[in-house]
Homo-oligomer: A and B are copies of this chain.
């Protein structure tokens, strides 16, 4: 699992880390129970501060994607609670859909794009 961060992006670094981990879990690259790098290790590997990684891990932990074992170590959790997931993404999806529509993409094309995004297994998401 190699993180690729874009220091010039408008997306905060801690959010990029968070996104990459989520993508990694969804892609099966990170499996439940697997141990994540320590805060210090990941910070050094990425060339960022510990606090930044800490913030990303804290966010992921809060979202239920990872848990922190008291005996030292951060591990990938199972699936987070389902919750009202539909509503949560609808807002963002609507905006993307509106932009795609105005750019000339029809509904089928957009659905195909979404399916591609769903089945895509990581690779080069610049996660902005």
Contacts and interface: CB of A to CB of B under 8 A. Distances in A.
Contacts of A110: 114-115, 118
Nearest to A106: B118
A111 B25 CA distance: 20
Interface residues of A, number: 60
A99 B22 contact: yes
Interface string A58-102: 000010010111110000000111110110011111111111111
A79 B105 CA distance: 11
Contact of A95 (B103, B107, B116, B128): B128
Contact of A8 (B67, B96, B99, B126): B67
A36 B70 CA distance: 24
